[in-house]
A and B are shown apart, each in its own frame.
Chain A
Amino acid sequence: MTRFKNVVAQHECVGAFIHQLAQWIDVWAFGAQGPASITSNSMDPRLDALDRNRREFIVNHIKRRINLCVSIVSRESSAVEQTTQQRIDRENVAKEASQEKDQLFMLQAYYTGPGELREGGRRHDNDFVSIQDIKVAPTDGELLCHIPPFLPANIPNGPHPLPADSMGRLLDIQFRLLREELL
């Protein structure tokens, strides 16, 4: 899935397969890690031969790997339906005037999203929600555009289409800010 970037979006069976595989591994892991009376009936005699620590380590390692695949699938197949979430809901913002909250308030109030998420649509031909779609070298249309570009603030819980504590958001922000600084 890392070599063929759009495979999850283009072939639904891949996502379904990964989820199914994750379920099978859960069942297998339960059998492999259960109490002794169950493990003696486990499907893999090689596992039985190992001590508890080793068994646990191997099972956890495999679970970690499959969870990575599941998170790739979830990220790539979730639709980008975020416009309603980006709107500032002013009544819900706390009334305490701390400097940090003011800054977040202002950021959310004047937030316009990237690419199609922007009211009024994409700013130019190189404006996209996903940085994978953005060409590194600016396009001619982008250079001439006078609309302010999408530059997310690099602070916790700032407004952004991607989930708050995700690696995807970190990479997105760093990419956009570095690119703007240098180009």
Chain B
Amino acid sequence: MFFIQHGDQIAYRVFFSAPLRISVQVAREDLLAQNFHTTQLAGIKKKKGGRYNHQDKHDSVMFGVYTNIEFGKIEMDSRRGLVVEVKLDTPPGSARSTGPASRASYWLGPGSKRLVNGGLIAILWKSECRVDVHLGAMATTNEKIAESSRSSADKLAVRVQFFDSAVNSKILDFKRTKQKPRSDIYLIESSVMFESIRPFLDSLRRVPETVPFHKYLPHPTSGSLAGVEVHPPFYSILPEFSFELRSLLRPDRVDEERSLRLNASDAGSVITVRRQLKDSSRLDPSQADSLIDALTQEVSLIQG
């Protein structure tokens, strides 16, 4: 963690990538630049697509850029809701092979990591002097992209689901306007696989009281776990519950009538059984300790 100064605002900076935000802001700055033609984005536009490489002293980020975005139909997808057909330039490289079959096999093979279904994309929309950003998720399978690549070596058609539904209206209005404002539209692809991250973030937003182990997980105000007492498992403190450990005794020490019962809520029982396991069981002393700890504590960390 270190402290940096941004004018009169001091912020502490931790080493986070925030790849999506950085890609979007960097590309947008290029679009707004006075000398646009000297920027990296302009170079990519000339080549009709490519990878943008950004490096400064804090961040280093790489992302895919697709150019000359046009909008097609807006459709209803039963799983995702409204999706928009988006046409873009086929990016340079093997995607532009002359044969339809080799183009298709690119998207099914090495290109299957690009424009991934469910991945996050951002549309960068320059209209006159203003640049807007619209975030969405890819809603096309790689098979469909491969199919689309067969029909043309220059253009691809994909589908996008925008998170902000107002964007769908904006696109409709844009398509209906005869005199369109001067526009320059790009599609930026981040390497973020949104659908695999979203469930974790959603789980973290659950009601805090429903998360188990609330005595152990949050940082204690003392700053140390030394004072935290670990309780026995809930099922083991039911009245008259005890563990039967007779099966761990060595054959020569097994007495037919004897049982080896461990009562997790009784400290005496725990001490006695621990000793008996060490003396008469098939476990070595550290194994015996681990077993007793696992049975008498709600949380235990064992390294074997």
- Residue numbers of A with Cβ under 8 A of B are 1-2, 5, 51, 53-54, 57, 68, 71-72, 75, 103, 106-107, 110, 131-132, 134-140, 142-144, 146, 148, 151, 153, 155-157, 164-171, 174-175, 177-183
| Whole-angstrom distance between the Cβ of A143 and the nearest chain B Cβ | 5
Contacts of A168 in B (CB 8 A): 208
Contacts of A103 in B (CB 8 A): 1
Interface contact A140-B18, CB-CB below 8 Å: no
25 pairs, A vs B, C-beta closer than 8 Å:
A2-B209, A54-B239, A71-B209, A103-B1, A137-B120, A138-B21, A140-B133, A143-B133, A143-B135, A148-B9, A148-B13, A151-B16, A153-B14, A156-B221, A157-B223, A168-B208, A170-B218, A171-B204, A171-B206, A175-B204, A178-B201, A179-B201, A181-B16, A183-B19, A183-B120
**Chain B residues within 8 Å of chain A by Cβ, number:** 54
Interface contact A183-B204, CB-CB below 8 Å: no
In the bound complex, CA of A107 to CA of B200 (Å): 27
Interface contact A167-B239, CB-CB below 8 Å: no
Interface of A is mostly: helix
Known: A137-B135, A153-B1. 14 other contacts (CB 8 A): A51-B239, A103-B1, A131-B204, A137-B120, A138-B21, A140-B132, A143-B122, A166-B218, A167-B208, A171-B205, A175-B204, A178-B204, A181-B16, A183-B120
Interface contact B217-A167, CB-CB below 8 Å: yes
Does B210 belong to the interface (CB within 8 Å)? Answer: yes
In the bound complex, CA of A140 to CA of B200 (Å): 22
Contacts of A1 in B (CB 8 A): 207
Interface contact B135-A139, CB-CB below 8 Å: yes
Contacts of A153 in B (CB 8 A): 1, 12, 14
| Whole-angstrom distance between the Cβ of B68 and the nearest chain A Cβ | 21
For A145, the closest partner residue in chain B by CB is B21
Contacts of A148 in B (CB 8 A): 6, 9, 11, 13
Known: A57-B237, A165-B219, A175-B205. A143 touches B197 (CB 8 A): no
| Whole-angstrom distance between the Cβ of A56 and the nearest chain B Cβ | 8
- Residue numbers of B with Cβ under 8 A of A are 1, 3, 6, 9-14, 16-21, 24-25, 28, 120, 122, 132-135, 137, 163-164, 192, 194, 197-198, 200-202, 204-211, 214, 217-223, 237-240
In the bound complex, CA of A155 to CA of B44 (Å): 43
Our pick among B3, B198, B237 for the contact of A110 (Cβ within 8 Å) is: B3
Known: A175-B205, A178-B200. A170 touches B217 (CB 8 A): yes
In the bound complex, CA of A156 to CA of B17 (Å): 24
For B213, the closest partner residue in chain A by CB is A167
Interface contact A110-B12, CB-CB below 8 Å: yes
Interface contact A106-B12, CB-CB below 8 Å: yes
Interface contact A183-B24, CB-CB below 8 Å: no
| Whole-angstrom distance between the Cβ of A74 and the nearest chain B Cβ | 10
In the bound complex, CA of A153 to CA of B122 (Å): 29
| Whole-angstrom distance between the Cβ of B120 and the nearest chain A Cβ | 7
In the bound complex, CA of A178 to CA of B202 (Å): 11
In the bound complex, CA of A143 to CA of B120 (Å): 13
Contacts of A140 in B (CB 8 A): 132-135, 164
Contacts of A155 in B (CB 8 A): 219
Contacts of A132 in B (CB 8 A): 205
In the bound complex, CA of A149 to CA of B209 (Å): 27
Known: A166-B208, A171-B204. A156 touches B3 (CB 8 A): no
Contacts of B163 in A (CB 8 A): 135, 137, 139
